[in-house]
Structure 1
Amino acid sequence: MNVGFVGAGRMGRPMVARLVAAGHTVCALARTDQAHTELAAIGAITATSVIEVAWAAEVVLVCVFTDEQVREICLDGPLLEELPRGALIVVHTTGSPATATAVAATARDRGIGVVDAPVSGGPHDIAAGTLTVFLGGAESDVATARAVVRAYADPVLHVGPLGAGQRVKLVNNILFAAQIGLVADAVRLGAQLGLPEPALLAALPHASSGGRAIASIAARGSVDEFRSTVGEFLRKDIAVANELTAALGADLGLLGPAVRAGVAPIVPADPIA
């Protein structure tokens, strides 16, 4: 399949590599000489503009950092005007469901489909082909998207209509941040009980309290070190989730304080004598 790619950075570049290895023809946007060299080295055709990416694409994958960048590319730029009729836009960026809806409303008049497809995982999951992708959209569009993203993703989950992928991902990230907050408080409690953080984190992943969050934190050696790795991405997504829940009048319940603890620095505790 002819695939266009916008946003070939930390997450996007290994996606491009897997797409090329799966036999797709990939035209990726390269804004710097270094990006051009790196993308060409993994077998991609490089483009210097979104127009070049769009010309012959059957599917365009958008994997930029923010919701604002998605709107800039899909609504303010020339992408929709240049894409062939019948093409599909797949938005990997985590953001507001309203953005996917806005892009789809404009794209529909040109016969272009849109699927929101936020992801869970990192570059190592992409390299292994085990990234999780939440797809939101019509059945026919999801089928086309699945044929492409399965090059680097398993499982690929159709979770509902357009926008549902973003909603699932935002709930996921709220829960993940809450879990970080619980681990941070567990570390604080451990300090009060005279337990060093490294010893506690080495033990807990093997017990009934174990899970993906605590295992990831333990691999980094401390809660604060883990936050420094995921904080930029997580804070961005939590801000979007807070805006969405406020707009809908939703209630985070017990998740609220745990999320706040998850994105805040640890306050050292006095150990019990």
Structure 2
Amino acid sequence: MTRVGFVGAGRMGGPMIGRLVESGHEVQALGRSDQKSRVVEELGARPVADVTEVPDGADVVIVCVFTDEQVRTVCLDDGLVAAMRAGSTLVLHTTGSPRTAQTVAAQNPAIAVVDAPVSGGPHNIAAGEVTLFVGGSDDAVAHARPILGAYGDPILHVGPLGAGQAVKLVNNAVFAAQIGLLGEAVALGRRLGVDEPKLLSAISNGSGASRVGGFVAAAGSVATFAEATQEFVSKDVDVVRKTAADLGSDLGLLDAVIDAGIRP
């Protein structure tokens, strides 16, 4: 049994905590209000009231919040990283800039940091089969892997610290671009007199099929799917554009279609 500290018992983090508890790990999770504490208890974990209590005695600490800014606030401003004991490992599931993970790691050289953004939803986590793009040293990833295995499969070690974020950002840029391409395909089909749901269903069974196309076909229309995914995809696209610009690059041809994929 491993003691795990957890910040972010929300839509994605909640199922992670549940899987960790079911796998036999002892979990202590941040619950800053009575309501949040009750949620943590219902998941089978022990609530703690302050960020600095989360890593107390923990071998691995996991952060699963919504934005890059929240990661910096929790890890740096609120003192999570400073409170972690030497030899422990911090896992960052939030999709953000590779530089954030590297900045966090620099604040406490006595700990290991792994960036492991998630591809999938709460249902994938609950089933123990969410995809994790993982960046970090071989030793750090090996240390975190038994914990991540409670809900992650596959766990893809894609390079050094920050590489997980880079892969996730590219993945989501391609995801948004595919939605945009499908929107253009539907517009072409409409001009040719083909009904959108029938076109999407047919493409899903042809050589133009893709995982995204299957999701869109199940939603019934490109607009419906784009509206349902706009919040998180828009956030990630903003991050990848900023990250590319910071590195003196851009999204190339992806930019030509990506806006159509994130605006319903």
1:125 corresponds in structure 2 to 124
Deviation per CA, 1:127-185: give whole Å up to 9, x if none: 11111101111111111111111100110011111111111111101111111111111
Q: Which letter does structure 1 place at the counterpart of 2:131? A: T
Check the 8 A contact 1:136/1:164 in 2, yes or no: yes
Q: Which letter does structure 2 place at the counterpart of 1:198? A: P
Deviation per CA, 1:175-213: give whole Å up to 9, x if none: 111111111111111111122222222222111111110
Check the 8 A contact 2:4/2:27 in 1, yes or no: yes
Q: d(CA) in 2 for partners of 1:39 and 1:205?
A: 40
Matches within 5 A, 1:210-249: 210-249=209-248
2:154 corresponds in structure 1 to 155
Secondary structure at 2:132's aligned position in 1?
A: strand
Q: d(CA) in 1 for partners of 2:177 and 2:10?
A: 28
Check the 8 A contact 1:125/1:131 in 2, yes or no: yes
Q: Which letter does structure 1 place at the counterpart of 2:5? A: G
Check the 8 A contact 1:19/1:26 in 2, yes or no: yes
Deviation per CA, 1:50-72: give whole Å up to 9, x if none: 12212121111000000000000
Question: Does 2:241 align with 1:262?
Answer: no
1:134 corresponds in structure 2 to 133
- Where in structure 2 are there 5+ consecutive unaligned residues? none
Secondary structure at 2:107's aligned position in 1?
A: helix
Q: Which letter does structure 1 place at the counterpart of 2:169? A: L
Q: d(CA) in 2 for partners of 1:83 and 1:247?
A: 30
Q: d(CA) in 2 for partners of 1:78 and 1:166?
A: 23
Secondary structure at 1:107's aligned position in 2?
A: coil
Deviates more, 1:40-49 or 1:229-238: 40-49
Q: d(CA) in 2 for partners of 1:40 and 1:264?
A: 38
Q: CA deviation at 1:38?
A: 2.7
Q: d(CA) in 1 for partners of 2:195 and 2:30?
A: 47
1:63 corresponds in structure 2 to 64
Identity %: 55
TM-score normalised according to structure 1 size = 0.93
2:184 corresponds in structure 1 to 185
How many residues matched? 263
Matches within 5 A, 1:1-273: 1-108=2-109, 111-265=110-264
Q: CA deviation at 1:253?
A: 2.3
Check the 8 A contact 1:119/1:132 in 2, yes or no: yes
- Where in structure 1 are there 5+ consecutive unaligned residues? 266-273
Q: d(CA) in 2 for partners of 1:87 and 1:253?
A: 39
Q: d(CA) in 1 for partners of 2:49 and 2:76?
A: 19
Check the 8 A contact 1:107/1:114 in 2, yes or no: no
Q: d(CA) in 1 for partners of 2:258 and 2:96?
A: 18
Q: d(CA) in 2 for partners of 1:32 and 1:216?
A: 36
Q: d(CA) in 2 for partners of 1:218 and 1:61?
A: 35
Q: Which letter does structure 1 place at the counterpart of 2:64? A: C
Q: d(CA) in 1 for partners of 2:87 and 2:106?
A: 15
Check the 8 A contact 2:55/2:83 in 1, yes or no: yes
User: What is the RMSD computed on CA atoms of the aligned residues?
Assistant: 1.2
Q: d(CA) in 1 for partners of 2:231 and 2:72?
A: 20
Q: d(CA) in 1 for partners of 2:223 and 2:63?
A: 31
Q: Which letter does structure 2 place at the counterpart of 1:249? A: G
Ranges of 4+ aligned residues in structure 1 off by more than 2 Å: 31-39, 249-253
Q: CA deviation at 1:5?
A: 0.6
Secondary structure at 1:55's aligned position in 2?
A: coil
